[in-house]
Amino acid sequence: MPNKCKDLISLIVFTNAYFCLIVKTKPNIRYANFKQAKIAYTVSGKGRAVVLLHGFLGSTDVWESIKTSLAKQFKIICIDLPGHGQSDSFGYVHSMEVMAQAIKAVMDNLHLKKYVLIGHSMGGYASLAFAELFPDFVRGLCLFHSTSYADNEQKKRDRDKAIRVVKNNTDIYVRATINNLFATKNLKHLKKEILFTQKIARKTTKRGIIAALEGMKTRPSRDVVLHFANYPILFIVGKYDNLLPMQSLLDQAEIAKYKDVLLLEKAGHMGFLEEPEVCVKHLKRFIRNSFSPYKLRG
């Protein structure tokens, strides 16, 4: 057997074992009632509450690389957004408002009133919708490779094209989409992380994928939330992000009154897998600052 084949088989076996280990050792899944269905979430650690919201094609599992470290200091709530992971789907469009309401259902179920939201990509869109609908519950907001701006017309057409591809062949779409999330220069040495992310993505149902694409396509801009937020906002930006240009996000961060920026020099759109140690260190400081008496609060 050629060495390349042996290496590939070893990588697949290792990734499957790693994924199974996470499933067996992660905290028990809990469920909150929402619209006569269920939203899945996990809770780990103790202390101030921090909500981790995955991106498109993700689930609570994607946070394992940083969650364990954060849970040593904070109460970490990871939520499967509608149509992802073990959460139910709700109709044919999962708007960001519906996702925000699902998040609120989980937090109400836990009787928590103040928390920091950390949203990756689509999770950032949902976080912004939450901050707009329920501003009094937010102590800090992290846009982790995310933007407050709506899709432009070209991006909307791309979403429609993606929906057509998903209807015909979900697996091809998932593989191409996940690869594009990582910095091109990381594709060779992060094969384990890429396969792991693909495995999570393939668990997303076709209905969930399409509903999320429709919801992202129709979301409005929420840059006004950045301007009026009376709490710190952290932008985590990947220098080699294929989806969200670095300079655009850095310029956008200037809108926020109380901004914080982390530029990841080696990452694309998956910084918590591409540079986990750097992310954890900065997130811990940001969370602590969010819950401390903030000097610039009104």
pLDDT at 296 over 50: no
pLDDT at 298 (0 to 100): 38
User: How many residues comprise the chain?
Assistant: 298
Using pLDDT thresholds of 50, 70 and 90, give the confidence band for residue 29: very high
Q: Confirm whether 279 is domain-assigned.
A: yes
Cβ 283 vs Cβ 206: under 8 Å: no
Q: Confirm whether 13 is domain-assigned.
A: no
Q: How many angstroms separate the CA atoms of 141 and 139, rounded?
A: 7
pLDDT at 2 (0 to 100): 56
pLDDT at 132 (0 to 100): 98
* Rounded average pLDDT over 58-66: 96
Tokens representing 234? 């952290």
Q: Confirm whether 9 is domain-assigned.
A: no
Domain hosting residue 203, numbered range: 29-291
Q: Count up the domains in the chain and report the number.
A: 1
Q: Confirm whether 23 is domain-assigned.
A: no
pTM of structure: 0.90
Task: Name the strands in the sheet holding 37-44, side by side, starting at the edge strand that comes first in the sequence.
Answer: 30-34, 37-44, 75-79, 49-53, 115-120, 138-144, 233-238, 259-264
Kindly calculate the radius of gyration of the chain based on its CA atoms and give it in whole angstroms: 18
Q: Confirm whether 218 is domain-assigned.
A: yes
Mean pLDDT for all residues in the chain: 92
> CATH number, domain at 275?
3.40.50.1820
For residue 75, report the phi and psi dihedrals to the nearest 5 degrees: -85, 115
Amino acid sitting at position 61: D
* Rounded average pLDDT over 68-82: 98
pLDDT at 14 over 90: no
DSSP 65-76: HHHHHHTTTSEE
Q: Confirm whether 14 is domain-assigned.
A: no
* Rounded average pLDDT over 218-241: 97
Note the pLDDT tens digit of each residue in 255-284.
Answer: 999 999 999 999 999 999 999 999 999 999
pLDDT at 7 (0 to 100): 52
pLDDT at 28 (0 to 100): 84
Q: Confirm whether 22 is domain-assigned.
A: no
Q: Confirm whether 297 is domain-assigned.
A: no
pLDDT at 21 over 60: no
Note the pLDDT tens digit of each residue in 128-152.
Answer: 999 999 999 999 999 999 999 999 9
